[in-house]
């Protein structure tokens, strides 16, 4: 039985995800006379899934536009541009033995829960190859998707300024989808580029999660070559992690705070983030004249609220940023370029990072047999115990003077998580103890 997770379908190739599933997915989403764009990251199983998916779509009369290896936002943009649905074959930052699918509609938005349920149901029906030979779909290859994405991204940053400053940038593509676009985008923008792990081979030289542990060598290269900054991507390049001139990661909170300031510098308005956002992010938004708005975890929710509120920017603390004027999905390519521009305009990122105030924060997780049942009991108790502004559409977050706390069931693991942040360390510890005591009673 196929199941959508928090971001499309994902699993081990040959187990949860295989060619048979891909073909059935193709039949579920294919429609006579309708077009579907297919892209993939560099995983070795990607070509198998791409072929099977395309076969499924064509077999029910749908047309396929193949764009080959490309980042997730590139696929979303191609879908929007070509008036087609879109499928990205990727497992994002998961290890190489994993793969999966993300689905987009013709506005470039990731599909919602209702559409996912419709696909699940169709696959359950076990549809057969239905159309006759003269009704089958066609396929074409489109080689413009990457250049169109570069064009869009360069149209949103100050290329004249970047060309004047000619910053030296190390880009670590993680041997993923960024390999086919980011070194070229940076060069075209006017950077001096040192590209590492930029062979799109599907043989990964580092772990695909762009975190401290996986980026040690890249950080050392940033220092060794005297680069102004480093940019590192996950497997499908919807994320970018930034390394400063000292070879240190900016850190996800400081990174999000800086990009919020940058976007509000262009245009004032609402910034959408999630319930996991720290005070550094809130302060950056308010200090720069923006309105802080939080929603549920997940880029689909961020994109939806951005559209509803006509927001100027949407960013999740995990490093997924959606730019207004760009595609309505997280875009690691544009993220990298925005930080290049930030460096060109304001100087060393290491110094800018120091100006972002990071407050005492504590996170802990509690194993729960039934995390959702536990949360139903925990949430009312938290609301009783802590007075403040409550957001309870996804766990429960309470904002109060000097800090906030969040109690939430994990989207993927059988655990309940508590996060507490406060300007004062001792108050933070006390608030944390109080919340933990409530959680422990019900997990």
Residue numbers at the binding site for Mg ion (CB under 5 A): 92, 234, 236, 238
Classify 42 as helix, strand or coil. Answer: coil
Nearest distance in Å: CB 71, Mg ion: 9
Nearer of residues 234 and 262 to Mg ion, judged by Cβ: 234
- CA-to-CA distance for 142 and 82, rounded, in angstroms? 10
CB of 1 vs Mg ion, minimal distance in Å: 25
In whole angstroms, the minimum distance from the beta carbon of 206 to Mg ion comes to 15
Question: 239 vs 422, which CB is nearer to Mg ion?
Answer: 239
Could you tell me if residue 205 is left (phi over 0), alpha (psi between -120 and 50 degrees) or otherwise beta? Answer: alpha
Residue nearest to Mg ion (CB): 92
Nearest to Mg ion of 247, 332 (CB atom): 332
71 half-sphere exposure, CB direction, 13 A CA radius: 31
- Beta-bridged to residue 196, according to DSSP, are 172
Nearer residue to Mg ion within complex by CB, 234 or 263: 234
Catalytic-labelled residue, pool 7, 92, 278, 299: 92
For the question of residue 92 being annotated catalytic, the response is: yes
**Which residues on adjacent β-strands are paired with residue 193?**
169
Question: Please, what is the minimum distance in Å from the beta carbon of residue 76 to Mg ion?
Answer: 12
Q: How many residues does the chain have?
A: 443
The owner of tokens 């985008």 is 185
C-beta closer to Mg ion: residue 236 or 263: 236
Q: What is the DSSP string of 320-386?
A: BEEETTS-SS--HHHHHHHHHHHHHHH--HHHHHHTS----EEEEEEE-TTHHHHHHHHHHHHHHHS
Which residues, including other chains, have CB under 8 Å from residue 168's CB and lie 6 or more apart? 191, 192, 194, 225, 226, 227, 228
**Residue 90: CB minimum distance to Mg ion, A:** 7
- Known catalytic residues? 92
């Amino acid at each position: 039985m196929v199941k959508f997770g928090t971001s499309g379908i994902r699993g081990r190739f040959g187990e949860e995800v295989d060619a048979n599933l891909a073909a059935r997915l193709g039949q579920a989403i294919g429609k006579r006379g309708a077009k579907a764009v297919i892209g993939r990251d560099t995983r070795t199983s990607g070509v198998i899934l791409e072929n099977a998916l395309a076969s499924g779509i064509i077999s029910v009369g749908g047309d396929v536009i193949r764009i080959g290896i490309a980042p997730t936002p590139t696929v979303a943009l191609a879908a929007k541009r070509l008036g087609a649905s879109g499928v990205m074959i990727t497992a994002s930052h998961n290890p190489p033995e994993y793969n999966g699918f993300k689905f987009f509609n013709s506005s470039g938005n990731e599909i919602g829960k209702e559409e996912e349920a419709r696909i699940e149901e169709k696959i359950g029906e076990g549809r057969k190859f239905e159309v006759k030979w003269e009704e089958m779909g066609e396929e074409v290859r489109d080689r413009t998707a990457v250049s169109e994405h570069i064009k869009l991204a360069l149209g949103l940053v100050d290329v004249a300024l970047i060309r004047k400053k000619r910053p030296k940038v190390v880009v670590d593509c993680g041997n993923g989808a960024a390999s086919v676009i980011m070194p070229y985008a940076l060069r075209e923008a006017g950077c001096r580029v040192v590209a590492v792990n930029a062979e799109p081979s599907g043989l990964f030289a580092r772990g695909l999660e762009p975190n401290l542990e996986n980026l040690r060598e890249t950080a050392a290269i940033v220092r060794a070559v005297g680069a102004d900054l480093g940019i590192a991507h996950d497997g499908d390049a919807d994320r970018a992690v930034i390394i400063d001139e000292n070879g240190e990661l900016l850190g996800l909170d400081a990174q999000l705070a800086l990009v919020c300031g940058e976007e509000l510098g262009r245009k004032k308005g609402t910034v959408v983030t999630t319930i996991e956002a720290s005070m550094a992010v809130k302060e950056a938004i308010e200090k720069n004249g923006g309105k802080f708005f939080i929603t549920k975890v997940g880029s689909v929710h961020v994109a939806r609220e951005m559209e509803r509120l006509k927001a100027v920017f949407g960013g999740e603390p995990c490093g997924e940023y959606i730019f207004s004027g760009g595609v309505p999905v997280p875009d690691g390519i544009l993220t990298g370029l925005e930080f290049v521009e930030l460096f060109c305009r304001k100087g060393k990122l290491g110094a800018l990072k120091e100006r972002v105030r990071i407050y005492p924060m504590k996170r802990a997780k509690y194993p729960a047999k039934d995390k959702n049942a536990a949360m139903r009991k925990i949430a009312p108790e938290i609301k009783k115990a802590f007075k403040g502004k409550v957001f309870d559409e996804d766990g429960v977050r309470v904002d109060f003077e000097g800090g906030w706390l969040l109690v939430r069931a994990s989207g993927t693991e059988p655990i309940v998580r508590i996060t507490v942040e406060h300007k004062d360390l001792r108050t933070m510890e006390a608030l944390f103890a109080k919340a933990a005591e409530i959680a422990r009673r019900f997990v």
